[in-house]
Amino acid sequence: MNAVLAILAYLIGALPLGYWAIRRLTGQDPRLASAYNLGLENTLKRLGPGPALLAFGLDFLKGMLAVWLGGQFGLSWAVVFALLVYLGHLYPPRWLAEGALLRGRGAGVLVGLVFGLHFSGLPYLLTLGVLLIAVAGLLWSRYTALAALLIPAVLALLLSFLPISGWAKLAAWVLFLLALWRYKENLGRMLEGTEPRLGEPLPMPSEKTVVCAFMIHPLTLDDLFQSPRFRWAKPLVERGLIRQSLVENLAEAIRPMKVGELRGVKTSDGREIRCHLLSAPLLPHQITGNPELATQRAIQGARLARELGCTVVGLGAFWSVVGEKGRLVQEAVPEIEVTNGGAYTAGTVRAAIPGILAHFEQSGRPLKQATAAVVGANGVVAFGIARQIAPLVGRLILVGRNLERLEKSAATLKQNLERKGQPVPEILTTLDIAAIKEADLIFTATSDPSAIIFPEHVKPGAWIYDEGVPPDVHDSVKQLPGVRVIPGGVVRPPGAMTGNLDLHFGEGAVPACLAETMILAAEGAYERKSLGGETKSENIQFFVERAEALGFQVVD
């Protein structure tokens, strides 16, 4: 009999009663009503008090009823049934919960099981104490997640000192650990300062708020340690107590999570753009070395962005090249728009180069007598630079990784210049980065995981426009006499943008690919998104024009 009722308790927990009721009453999908996989306050705001309280009440009844069933055999069995009903709520069988697998964290179930334990023999004062501590935690922190997590934590502590069986005490601690695991993202966001407090505006779309997401990754271990979730490991790595390889292996097992948020971006038409920063903490060499895992994580990141209420997700840095530059990610998650940000990145380069060339000539060096080098010329952005500067310089060096493609590109470039009647410079194609030693102007735009241009590659007095992310130019190059390194693809969004992470683009600035994500979300012109290796000229021009209209400024 106990075994049958135990299975029944699990199945009661697995019943998606709130989901069924809300779909029946409102016709809306409550799984997408929350910024963080459901939640009472989010459902309350999106669906109204009636559906929200109904869903909470049904969860409450599930928890209380299942625990009361176990309580017919004593408090010890009631505790075990509490674990089973919560387990059923979080991890229902597919055949029972098909179409409703995304569940909240079960705050209503947790409150209900407290009352079920009271009716099963938990003393009145202890029941009241659990609830008062949870309420006190809510009033003190204004975090509903913390208040909910206090319920199983306090229960586990109290039940450890009551005269119940050892396996019941173990069940209480397992219940707490299960809740702790389910609330881990909330705890991480509390540490990072991005978890909304009770009463604060939720980061959800509205008439005046545009919400998008952008996938980032640490460029170094120091970037990984920016997050309070991983900062504890920094001293252990520095002292040699934990190997870096162990941290990297752990990072490979972590699914995408929200690690930050950009706020305060105000467009010229009065709307606010909020951007969730998502990360699966893979380092550059892990992304390039394991493309299948990287594509899987990017797909998971896009799904998380959808659950967060976003209409667009951007792929930043090395994420932008995974899955055929986002194409496979879009195919896997068609419910959200995916962009690799290439169009506006190319647009910012196009906008910045005339000013750079003008300043170069003003320094007393005629362009027609100058040698320019373009590094990464096999890529779309770098070759766009080559096309822009070719008729203006005396000699052009194209550096890439595929000589055959470089030579074809050079031939096409010459034909286009001749057809337009423009000057044709001497063009050299090479795979050898050392060739740029002859250049007065160097333009670089690669996706290499580390610097590729060092002092031995650069002559004194050269100007370098670095579009690479991470930078292609090593910091030591800046120490050469007369050398000027100009960062590229940096944009300042309108308004007073704030965030909790250092993105390495300067205060109040973002990479152009992130700006494209914001602009795409604000304009809703999803047909302009950047996917795959091809970037259309009309899309580049679109983002340049709309960026200016919305108030975005290219940082030169």
pLDDT digits (tens, 9 = 90+) for 55-77: 788 888 988 988 898 888 889 99
In a domain, 200, yes or no: no
Give the residue-averaged pLDDT of 517-532: 91
In a domain, 299, yes or no: yes
In a domain, 370, yes or no: yes
Q: Which of 161, 192, 223 is the last residue of a domain?
A: 192
Give dist(CA 30, CA 209) in Å, integer. 20
- Residue 495 bridge partners (DSSP): 265
Position 277 scores a pLDDT of: 93
> pLDDT tier at 29 (50, 70, 90 boundaries)?
low
Contacts of 435 (CB under 8 A, 6+ apart): 373, 397, 399, 428
- Alpha-carbon distance values, 312 to 81, 214, 274, 354, 545 (Å): 42, 8, 12, 31, 20
Q: Which of 436, 461, 491 is the last residue of a domain?
A: 491
135 and 270 in a single domain? The answer is: no
Position 186 scores a pLDDT of: 82
- Alpha-carbon distance values, 256 to 251, 259, 500 (Å): 10, 9, 17
Give the residue-averaged pLDDT of 468-486: 86
221 and 339 in a single domain? The answer is: yes
- Alpha-carbon distance values, 69 to 12, 76, 312, 371 (Å): 11, 12, 46, 83
- Across the chain, mean pLDDT equals 86
> Strand, coil or helix: what is 308?
coil
In a domain, 8, yes or no: yes
In a domain, 203, yes or no: no
> Strand, coil or helix: what is 511?
strand
In a domain, 199, yes or no: no
In a domain, 204, yes or no: no
Position 468 scores a pLDDT of: 76
Cβ burial, residue 532 (10 Å; 0-12/13-18/19+)? middle
Percent of the chain with pLDDT over 70: 90
Position 35 scores a pLDDT of: 41
Could you give the number of structural domains in the chain?
Answer: 3
* pLDDT tens-digit readout, 435-469: 999 999 999 988 776 788 999 999 999 999 988 76
299 and 390 in a single domain? The answer is: no
Give the residue-averaged pLDDT of 271-285: 91
Q: Which of 491, 526, 544 is the last residue of a domain?
A: 491
173 and 247 in a single domain? The answer is: no
* pLDDT tens-digit readout, 153-178: 999 999 999 999 989 899 999 999 99
Q: Are 313 and 302 in contact (CB under 8 A)?
A: yes
Position 202 scores a pLDDT of: 65
520 closest CA partner among 492, 536, 551, 542: 542
Position 446 scores a pLDDT of: 83
Q: Are 89 and 66 in contact (CB under 8 A)?
A: no
Contacts of 508 (CB under 8 A, 6+ apart): 492, 493, 496, 497
> pLDDT tier at 1 (50, 70, 90 boundaries)?
low
Give dist(CA 202, CA 261) in Å, integer. 12
Position 102 scores a pLDDT of: 46
Strands (E), 226-285: 257-266, 272-279
11 and 152 in a single domain? The answer is: yes
In a domain, 501, yes or no: no
Give dist(CA 210, CA 274) in Å, integer. 6
> pLDDT tier at 329 (50, 70, 90 boundaries)?
very high
> pLDDT tier at 25 (50, 70, 90 boundaries)?
low
Q: Domain range holding 45?
A: 2-192
Position 377 scores a pLDDT of: 87
Strands (E), 369-515: 371-375, 395-399, 426-430, 441-444, 463-466, 484-487, 490-492, 495-498, 510-511
368 and 382 in a single domain? The answer is: yes
395 and 312 in a single domain? The answer is: no
333 and 356 in a single domain? The answer is: no
234 and 186 in a single domain? The answer is: no
Question: Is the pLDDT score of 34 beyond 60?
Answer: no
447 and 548 in a single domain? The answer is: no
Give dist(CA 287, CA 297) in Å, integer. 10
* pLDDT tens-digit readout, 356-378: 899 899 988 899 999 999 998 88
443 and 534 in a single domain? The answer is: no
315 and 391 in a single domain? The answer is: no
Longest dimension (CA), the chain: 94
What CATH number has the domain bearing residue 433?
Answer: 3.40.50.720
